[in-house]
Amino acid sequence: MTIKAVTFDLWDTLVDDDSDEPKRKARGLRSKREERRHQVWRALNDASAIDPATVSLAYDVAEAGFNMVWKEQHINWTVAQRLRVVLGGLGRTLPDDVFQRLVADHGRMEVDIPPDPIDGVEAALQRLSKRYKLAVVSDAIVTPGIGLRSILEAHGLARYFSGFAFSDEVGHSKPHRSMFDSAAAQLGVALDEIVHIGDRDHNDVKGPHVIGAKAILFIATRDTDKDATTADAICASYSELPAIIDRLSAQN
């Protein structure tokens, strides 16, 4: 089948995942990891004194559980679910308004100080959108889908996409096929008419291949998987991407 649509991972594919950390440091703010733990400690400590190290340990345990479910069951716990695991581990509760504010503060962190787009991404999207339908297929690790849309809109990138499949909205994370099914349905294409772009071989290459789509490993900011990938192509720069996709399309 001819390629009719291109789907993109978000983290380390459209935006540079940790490029917001230097901005936080320049403003005298904690790292995202430290700030999330501090927010939970502050909310609990305001009600009843608790040791920060105890809260941090409970958060670490919840994170380990999240990673196991994410990698083995292809489900991303929402921020609310993760925080309930933290509180459950501590044997504590919070008033609903405090808990909801904590969830919102976690989810807004990368919206308020967003990561940077990867060099050349807008020019590539502008060019590709004239020939292919485009969608984002991304896991929502902490920032929910609504926040991820805001990040893309702030960078002027959202306008190039006709579909968005975020794990907190779909109910599964990559490589689960429902993520790609959602994108295909929104774009009105068959799965084997899609080429997916992403930085993780397990999620962004193996997932598409199982459902008959093509996959390109993107290594501009993260190249950990480049020596063991089964991708149809490897892309190191957005300046190369349109030509790579055209070449794959011509092979069909």
> Which pLDDT tens digit goes with each residue over 35-79?
999 999 999 999 999 999 999 999 999 999 999 999 999 999 999
Q: Is this prediction's pTM over 0.85?
A: yes
pLDDT at 252: 67
Q: Which domains are delineated in the chain? A: 5-19+116-251 (3.40.50.1000), 21-112 (no CATH)
Distance of CA 73 to the CA centre of its chain: 17
> Which pLDDT tens digit goes with each residue over 146-163?
999 999 999 999 999 999
pLDDT at 251: 83
Peptide bond into 95 cis (omega under 30): no
pLDDT at 176: 96
Q: What is each CA distance from 137 to 11, 26, 120, in whole angstroms?
A: 10, 31, 19
Q: What is each CA distance from 201 to 103, 190, 224, 233, in whole angstroms?
A: 31, 22, 9, 12
Per-residue confidence in pLDDT tens, the chain, 252 aa = 689 999 999 999 999 999 999 999 999 999 999 999 999 999 999 999 999 999 999 999 999 999 999 999 999 999 999 999 999 999 999 999 999 999 999 999 999 999 999 999 999 999 999 999 999 999 999 999 999 999 999 999 999 999 999 999 999 999 999 999 999 999 999 999 999 999 999 999 999 999 999 999 999 999 999 999 999 999 999 999 999 999 998 886
Residue keyed to tokens 């991404």: 121
Residue keyed to tokens 């807004």: 108
pLDDT at 1: 65
Tokens linked to 186:
């929104």
How is the beta sheet containing 163-166 ordered, strand by strand? 163-166, 133-138, 5-8, 194-198, 214-218, 233-235
CB neighbourhood size of 224 (10 A): 12
